[in-house]
Amino acid sequence: MNSIENMPISGKTKIIPILADPIAHVETPRIMNMLFKKANYDAVCVPFQVAAENLSQTIEALRLIPTIAGAVVTVPHKINISHLVDVKGPQAQIIGAVNAVRFDEQRQMHGEMFDGKGFVQGLINSDLDVGSHLKVYIAGAGGAARGIAFALLAQGVKSLQVYNRTQATAVALIEELKKYAPDAVIELADATPQQVDLCINATSAGMLGPQQNTLPFAIDGLEANCCVAEVIMNPLKTQLLQQAEQKGMKIVSGQAMILAQIGQLAAFILNEPELAQVRL
Ligand code: NDP
């Protein structure tokens, strides 16, 4: 029988909100809490629905609560929160977006970005060779897309085509990417990718909710040996992935990306490096 002492949350438990809007689609609380259980670590990740216009007030409130260790940050806050952090980590400085924040003892907020490296590691864990031969297409120019684009260039991919619904944002991102990797082939693309080895949906199009039936791009022009990868975790198999699978293409779901970075996120937020070693 359960005794009170064995119940998971006490007055000492560290709290990690995930800040998002919408919130119903997020899978990070389940996965991070699974990690805490496996590591026998006294912390809990909980969903906080925070509208874009309330982000800065929310941060000021969290700063006042010492049991809040930090936060996971996702759609639509990753770029805006990068302007609110007191100390930016190296990836956050390059990418201009943040997906994890930690409050230190003085309640200064440190921010870092793990999406890009997590995505690349997720591909590698899915047996994809991410090297200099790879021609890549990416849809999106928001927080997740930025992280992934910089990480792929750091990996030395052969070329990168960028498409976004709002073209001006893609153009601005391409300018930044070209400064970061002046020798790489980086081009603006449309919603019909062709002749690439890897196509990535790094937009919210297709995620649970009103956007679930929206396709981020058309796969008709792709060869069957192209791989299609998602950032979306919920649903696990988006319409895009279903279509790609029907064409016999290799698919990688958004779960690979979160599983590859969850330990790093927890380690950063709680300032406990050993949590990065926990495998789920
Ligand atoms: P942002 O709000 O920063 O960016 C959203 C991006 O999606 C923009 O490029 C936006 O285009 C595009 N977009 C939104 N709606 C549509 C639509 N209907 N059609 C086409 N494009 C659209 O969000 P994030 O980058 O933080 O997150 C994007 C997705 O990635 C979310 O679904 C999130 O859950 C997922 N994610 C998954 C992770 C994982 O580990 N698997 C980690 C991080 C994020 P525009 O500029 O035109 O508005």
> Best substitution site from 50, 75, 119, 217 to test ligand 1's pocket, by max atoms within 8 Å of Cβ?
75
**Does ligand 1 lie within 6 Å of residue 147's CB atom?**
no
Q: How far is the CA of 163 from the centre of ligand 1 (A)?
A: 12
User: Looking at ligand 1, which atom is closest to the CA of residue 76?
Assistant: 2
Q: How far is the CA of 11 from the centre of ligand 1 (A)?
A: 36
**Does ligand 1 lie within 6 Å of residue 214's CB atom?**
yes
**Does ligand 1 lie within 6 Å of residue 96's CB atom?**
no
- Please give the C-alpha separations between residue 229 and each of 17, 67, 77, 78, 191, in angstroms, as whole numbers: 27, 37, 23, 21, 15
Gyration radius of the chain over CA positions: 19
pLDDT tens by residue, 15-63? 999 999 999 989 999 999 999 999 999 999 999 999 999 999 999 999 9
pLDDT at 5: 82
**Does ligand 1 lie within 6 Å of residue 203's CB atom?**
yes
- Please give the C-alpha separations between residue 157 and each of 120, 148, 151, 212, 254, in angstroms, as whole numbers: 11, 12, 10, 30, 20
pLDDT at 232: 96
- Please give the C-alpha separations between residue 178 and each of 36, 172, 208, 274, in angstroms, as whole numbers: 39, 10, 33, 36
Structure pTM? 0.93
**Does ligand 1 lie within 6 Å of residue 144's CB atom?**
yes
Q: How far is the CA of 128 from the centre of ligand 1 (A)?
A: 23
Closest CA to 41 of 19, 4, 66, 16: 16
Ligand 1, atom 1: closest residue by C-alpha: 142
Ligand 1, atom 46: closest residue by C-alpha: 166
pLDDT at 195: 96
Q: How far is the CA of 2 from the centre of ligand 1 (A)?
A: 41
- 250 assigned to active site: no
Which residue in the list 14, 78, 88, 117 is annotated as catalytic? 78
pLDDT at 1: 58
Structure tokens at 248: 């016999």
Instruction: Report residues of the chain scoring pLDDT below 50.
Output: none
**Does ligand 1 lie within 6 Å of residue 230's CB atom?**
no
Q: How far is the CA of 231 from the centre of ligand 1 (A)?
A: 8
